[in-house]
Amino acid sequence: METIRKSIIIGSGPAGLTAAIYNARANLQPLVFAGLNFGGQLMTTTDVENYPGFPEGIKGPELMQLMLKQAQRFGAEIKYENVQKVDFSGEIKKVFANNIEYDARTIIIATGASARTLGVPGEDRFFGKGVSTCATCDGAFFKGKVLAVVGGGDTAMEDSTFLTRFASKVYIIHRRDQFRASRIMQDRTMANQKITVLWDTEVKEILGSEKVTGVKLFNKKDNKESELKLDGVFLAVGHNPNTAYLGNSIELDEKGYVKVYDKTKTSVDGIFVAGDVHDFHYMQAVTAAGMGCMAAIDCERWLEAKNL
């Protein structure tokens, strides 16, 4: 059993590491559970051009390494372990990793969300080489190109419309004969002359050599396979919040995201949240970092108010 810490941060993406920087500078000596896969979704991103302060852009993994070094510089302790479970029932919050209990006065939850994928051949191979889960992050790399968006919800509609700012043509590939998106989003999408919808169609394989060159499709209505030449595939089939380890310790919404009741405060006193594990609307590195800052400040003020 270790001593009771003032702050434990679960997660090591932009939200978790920004929280670590702020808590460490406040002399809270935070313990960060970075997980076995450190750095969050940016570790699978090549060029990041929309994070402030890097006019020439920066590689996703490099950005996360810089954040990590900054947190460590101010005294944050990093453990590359996954949290297995938590116990927030008492005044002292308990976190379990590698079958060891760690105790703290406050916890910041920043474990993000994982993009759902199709599970088809070529998807992993070409991730970051034409396959993306973030249109706003990567769309500008495809000026004048032909793209596809896979999905049928609001995100697919938003991504398709956004990508027409850069692409010469955008296909929406949807496995059903109607969208799940809101009517206003459907109308806006269907009115865009750059967008063509492929109904009742599934992606069976992503094709390419060094980068994506097309997809193999299957039409469920006529049972025919075909190939479509493309320069990029954007997956818009949703995200899964990384909250399984929380169990019933904290209130989640119907999609499994952590609920917020006051700025970054959760349903449990002394537990705060930051980033995509709560925010499924923006899901950007800069907004996650901003919320990490907010959570750290809320955490520090909570401790001050209780003279801890």
pLDDT digits (tens, 9 = 90+) for 88-114: 999 999 999 999 999 999 999 999 999
pLDDT of amino acid 41? 84
Specify whether 138 is catalytic: yes
Q: In whole angstroms, how far apart are CA 49 and each of 132, 193, 228?
A: 15, 28, 29
Query: Residue 152: is its pLDDT beyond 60?
Result: yes
The pTM score is 0.83
Specify whether 134 is catalytic: yes
Q: Which CATH number fits domain 5-114+239-305: 2.60.40.10, 3.10.105.10, 3.40.50.11540, 3.50.50.60?
A: 3.50.50.60
Per-residue pLDDT tens digits for 107-140: 999 999 998 999 999 999 999 999 999 998 899 9
Quote the DSSP letter at residue 265: B
CA nearest to 14, candidates 207, 305, 287:
287
Q: Which residue, chain included where needed, has tokens 């049928």?
A: 152
pLDDT of amino acid 35? 94
Query: What's the pLDDT band for 37 if we cut at 50, 70, 90?
Result: confident
- Domain 117-235, architecture per CATH: 3-Layer(bba) Sandwich (3.50)
What is the residue-wise DSSP string for 148-200?
EEE--SHHHHHHHHHHTTT-SEEEEE-SSSS--S-HHHHHHHHT-TTEEEETT
Residues 6+ away with beta carbon under 8 Å from 205? 120, 121, 122, 215, 216
Specify whether 293 is catalytic: no
Which entry of 47, 87, 103, 134 is annotated as an active-site residue?
A: 134
Q: Average pLDDT for residues 62-85, to the nearest whole number? A: 97
Please name every residue paired with 197 in a beta bridge, in sequence order, or none if there are none. 172
Quote the crossing angle between the two packed helices 183-190 and 154-163, to the nearest 10°.
30
Which entry of 137, 231, 279, 299 is annotated as an active-site residue?
A: 137
Kind plus residue range of the DSSP H or E element containing 5: strand 5-10
Domain(s) labelled CATH 3.50.50.60 in the chain stretch across 5-114+239-305, 117-235
- The answer to whether 142 touches 231, Cβ cutoff 8 Å, is yes
Per-residue pLDDT tens digits for 204-263: 999 999 999 999 999 999 999 999 999 999 999 989 999 999 999 999 999 999 999 999
CA nearest to 195, candidates 206, 205, 181:
181
Query: Residue 1: is its pLDDT beyond 60?
Result: no
Which entry of 47, 87, 124, 138 is annotated as an active-site residue?
A: 138
Of the chain, the percentage scoring pLDDT greater than 90 comes to 88
Q: Average pLDDT for residues 139-161, to the nearest whole number? A: 95
Of the candidate ranges 25-29, 83-87, 153-157, 174-178, the one whose mean pLDDT is the lowest: 153-157
pLDDT of amino acid 2? 62
> Using CA atoms in the order 15, 245, 125, 169, what is the torsion angle rounded to 10 degrees?
-60
CA nearest to 45, candidates 53, 56, 32, 57:
57
Of the chain, the percentage scoring pLDDT greater than 70 comes to 99
Q: Average pLDDT for residues 71-76, to the nearest whole number? A: 97
